[in-house]
C-alpha cells in the first residue's frame, strides 16, 4: 500500500471508537459512527476499498451490501466503480419475490434474503459490510450468492475482529479488511 494509503488507514483507525462492555459485559463494541460523520474519513474508507477493488478485480458487476451497515459503504463504492448495488436484508424486509437462506446465530436462527431478480446467474459480485466478527452473516450472504448462481469475487469489511475467527467461516472466499483487532 502506498504512503497515502497508510495515512488513510491511520485516519480511519483514529475514528473508530471502542466501547467496553457494550452491548454486554466482556464485549468491546467498535463504533464506526465517527467515520460516517467526518466526510474526509468516509472518503478515505471508500478510497481504500476502491484501490483494493481496482488492484485485485478486473471485472465486477455488482457490490452487494449486507444489512444494515453494508448499506452505508456499498453504494458509495458502487458509484465510484460505475457498477450497481444490491441489498441483502433480514427476512421480511424486501417487497416482491425473494430468495433466502437460513443461518445460525449464537442463540437461535436467522434468515438473509434478497429480491429474486437482484443478481443474475454468473454475475461477479463483491460483498461489503462494516464488520466481520463470527462470520455468520457474511457466510449466509455468500451462500445466498451461490444460491443465486453469482460468482463471489470476495468480501470486504471495514473492521475484522480476528480473535473470533470469522474468516474461517467465510472460506473459500477471500476477505479484505481495512482494520483488524
On the question of a cis peptide bond just before residue 23, with omega within 30 degrees of 0, the verdict is yes
Give the Cα separation of 145 and 153 in Å (integer): 11
CATH architecture of 3-180: 3-Layer(aba) Sandwich (3.40)
Task: Let me know: does 113 contact 12? Beta carbons within 8 Å.
Answer: no
pLDDT in single tens digits along all 181 residues of the chain: 667 899 999 999 999 999 999 999 999 999 999 999 999 999 999 999 999 999 999 999 999 999 999 999 999 999 999 999 999 999 999 999 999 999 987 778 999 999 999 999 999 999 999 999 999 999 999 999 999 999 999 999 999 999 999 999 999 999 999 999 9
Domain positions in the chain are: 3-180
Catalytic residue list contains 111: no
How many other C-beta atoms can be found within 10 angstroms of the C-beta atom of residue 70? Answer: 26
Catalytic residue list contains 89: no
Per annotation, catalytic residue among 30, 51, 69, 80: 69
Backbone angles phi, psi at 29, to 5 degrees: -85, 130
- At 4 the pLDDT is 87
Amino acid at each position: 500500500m502506498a504512503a497515502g494509503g497508510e495515512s488513510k488507514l491511520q485516519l480511519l483507525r483514529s475514528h473508530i471508537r471502542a466501547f467496553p462492555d457494550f452491548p454486554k459485559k466482556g464485549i468491546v463494541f467498535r463504533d464506526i459512527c465517527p467515520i460516517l460523520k467526518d466526510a474526509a474519513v468516509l472518503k478515505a474508507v471508500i478510497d481504500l476499498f476502491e484501490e483494493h477493488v481496482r488492484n485485485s478485480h478486473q471485472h465486477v458487476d455488482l457490490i452487494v451490501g449486507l444489512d444494515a451497515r453494508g448499506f452505508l459503504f456499498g453504494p458509495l463504492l458502487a458509484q465510484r466503480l460505475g457498477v450497481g448495488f444490491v441489498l441483502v436484508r433480514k427476512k421480511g424486509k424486501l417487497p416482491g419475490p425473494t430468495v433466502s437462506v437460513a443461518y445460525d446465530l449464537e442463540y437461535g436462527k436467522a434468515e438473509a434474503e434478497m429480491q429474486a431478480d437482484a443478481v443474475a446467474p454468473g454475475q461477479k459480485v463483491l460483498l461489503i459490510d462494516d464488520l466481520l466478527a463470527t462470520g455468520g452473516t457474511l457466510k449466509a450472504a455468500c451462500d445466498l450468492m451461490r444460491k443465486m448462481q453469482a460468482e463471489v469475487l470476495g468480501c470486504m469489511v471495514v473492521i475484522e475482529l480476528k480473535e473470533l475467527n470469522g474468516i474461517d467461516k467465510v472460506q473459500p472466499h477471500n476477505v479484505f479488511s481495512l482494520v483488524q483487532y
